Chains A and B, each alone.
Chain A
Amino acid sequence: MKSLLGPTLATLSVAALLAGCSSPQHQEITVFAAASLQPTFSELGSQFEKDYPGTKVTFNFAGSADLVTQLKHGAPADVFASADTANMTAAVDAGLTAGEPVNFASNTLTIVTPPGNALNITTFADLADPGTQVVVCAPQVPCGAATEKLEQATGVRLTPVSEESAVIDVLGKITSGQADAGLVYITDASRAGSRVESIPVPESSSAVNTYPIAVLAESANPSAAHKFVELVTDPRGQTALTAAGFGSP
């Protein structure tokens, strides 16, 4: 019966296509990662696609809290990498993760100034000098939480002129010459290159943000997701992270 031929052929081809898609060659994964991981993870994503031809890695870089909110509201993703343990805990508590998160990197703060360091800042305490316009992250975001820890560790209370919601905005105020100094991650400073001057803070080791990564429960491709996590935690991933300025987990 001719009338059944068409639909039958169509169904068979779709089935073949789907069968083909379930092999590792044609897999797509979506990775939600903290904004500070952008250059490194993008690089690792390309590496992943070379290692497993036919795969495609899509990234969503944003503030960690934002990512958790999106995941809670049903955004589809396979992997989540957070800039601190607090946000990963929130994700775990919401039942979003599959299995235990793994710590893969850490980040510490550094002082940055516009090129020239006009006010000749050398220590953390210099930031509290009257007349110095300092910009930091707000306590509600991971880098801001680290800043507070740093204040406690050094005993120096800062009076910033602005508390930004994203570390990239802090960096922006330095590179545009708006402020005298700011506190950002070491990775941000190295990314900014010659647009800022970095002044290391010895006490920063007491305010470390640990970065965990986890496969998500709703992942459509758990095997590919696990392979990505492996890449991040294996020597190649670790080398890339260290090169960007991240510390060991």
Chain B
Amino acid sequence: MTAARRADGLIQVAVPTWIYLPAAVGTLFVIAPLIAMLFAVDWAHFIPLITSESSRAALILSLKTATASTLVCAFIGIPMALVLARGNFPGLAVLRALVLLPLVLPPVVGGIALLYTFGRQGLLGHQLDLVGFRIAFSTAAVVLAQSFVSLPFLVLSLEGALRSAGAGYEHIAATLGARPSTVLRTVTVPLVLPGLISGAVLAFARSLGEFGATLTFAGSLQGVTRTLPLEIYLQRETDADAAVALSLVLIVVAAVIVIASAGRRLAGLR
């Protein structure tokens, strides 16, 4: 048997042959449902199904809200990641654990929590309502729900990148005369850009697929709050073909995002 080679030409010594079997099983496990979907689609009516008014509205809304929530995650996530990676104060470890909470919470639970915070009678929602900011049933509520569940992805990815980059370059920049804001802008962020981008891509993908928190917190109305996952959930009731067709659209969009980001991540690692 010829010895297997790694990508750099060296002989592969760490992957025993039997490993390929469970790996293949695992791959099939992931791919089989996707293939099943391809067989389930009503190809004859595929285009009309996915270009119907409600489908288009749902897809556009999903893309808009996922983009908005990714931006929100970046604005608040970058400072959070910086503090978690570089900060030094009592309770830091607890703060990090709390920040990661949305990762383990069932999304519906997240939605309920958001309801009691930003809902009409919620902790903050009540005050905002009095001032005229009504979040309930608005697209803003969708963005809030998506941001809540996606934030940990961005923070986690970026914090990891900041830790491995280390503070060495930042110290040099300071001795050369750069103020903290300048160091941040010219040295810290550029060096962790790959980590930031892959974190943002993960956050975007998570936002795109968000369902439970949106349903509980934002409601469901075409063009306003009914994102693609919610549209699929509704179409299930009467038109299974439409549900399957839209599911395929969501799968394809997600696959495109993942593949595009994987290529970029490999380039950034070099």
A/B contact in complex, CB under 8 angstroms: yes
Let me know if B240 is at the binding interface, CB within 8 A: yes
Report whether over half of chain B's contact residues are helix, strand or loop; otherwise say mixed. Answer: loop
A69 with B236, Cβ < 8 A, contacts A138-B220, A161-B219, A169-B215 known: yes
| CB under 8 Å from chain B, chain A span 164-185 | 164-165, 169, 172-173, 176-179
Which residue of chain B has its CB nearest to the CB of A135?
A: B219
Instruction: Establish whether residues B240 and A163, one from each chain, have CB atoms under 8 Å apart when the complex forms.
Output: no
- Residues 130-175 of A at the B interface (beta carbon under 8 Å): 133, 135, 138, 140-141, 160-165, 169, 172-173
Residue pair A141, B120 in contact (C-beta under 8 Å): no
- Asked if A247 lies at the interface with its beta carbon under 8 angstroms from chain B, I say no
For residue B138, give the distance in angstroms from its CB to the closest CB of chain A: 9
Q: Establish whether residues A140 and B220, one from each chain, have CB atoms under 8 Å apart when the complex forms.
A: no
Contact A178 B119 (CB under 8 A): yes
- CB-defined contacts of A178 to chain B, threshold 8 Å: 115, 119-121, 136-137, 219
Asked whether any CB of chain B lies closer than 8 Å to the CB of A126, the reply is no
- 8 Å CB contacts to A: which residues of B184-225? 215-216, 218-222, 224-225
Tell me, in angstroms, the Cα distance from A10 to B236 when the chains sit together.
48
Number of A interface residues at 8 Å Cβ cutoff, please give it. 22
Are A163 and B119 in contact (CB-based, < 8 A)? no
Task: For residue A95, give the distance in angstroms from its CB to the closest CB of chain B.
Answer: 17
**Interface set, chain A 72-108, CB cutoff 8 A to B:** none
By CB atoms of chain B within 10 A, which of A133, A162, A169, A179 has the most? A162
Q: Are the C-beta atoms of A69 and B240 separated by less than 8 Å?
A: yes
A65 to B224, CA, bound (A): 25
Within 8 Å CB of B240, what residues of A?
A: 69
B220 engages A65 (CB within 8 Å): no
Q: Are B219 and A173 in contact (CB under 8 A)?
A: yes
Cβ contact of A65, chosen from B115, B136, B219, B236, cutoff 8 A = B236
Query: Given the complex of chains A and B, what is the CA–CA distance between A169 and B240 in angstroms?
Result: 22
Q: Is the CB of B238 within 8 A of A162?
A: no
Q: Does chain B have a CB within 8 A of A66?
A: yes
Q: Considering the complex, which residues of chain B in the window 99-158 have a beta carbon less than 8 Å from any beta carbon of chain A?
A: 115, 119-121, 136-137
Q: Is the CB of A176 within 8 A of B137?
A: no
Any chain A CB within 8 A of the CB of B235?
yes
**A245, CB-defined interface residue at 8 Å:** no
* Interface CB pairs A-B, < 8 A, 16: A65-B236, A65-B237, A65-B238, A133-B137, A135-B219, A140-B237, A141-B237, A162-B137, A162-B219, A165-B215, A165-B237, A169-B215, A177-B121, A178-B136, A178-B137, A178-B219
* A residues apposed to B, CB below 8 Å: 63, 65-66, 69, 133, 135, 138, 140-141, 160-165, 169, 172-173, 176-179
Apart from A65-B236, A65-B237, A66-B237: 19 A-B pairs, beta carbons within 8 A: A63-B237, A65-B238, A138-B220, A138-B237, A140-B235, A140-B237, A160-B221, A161-B137, A161-B221, A162-B219, A163-B222, A164-B219, A165-B215, A165-B234, A172-B216, A178-B121, A178-B219, A179-B136, A179-B137
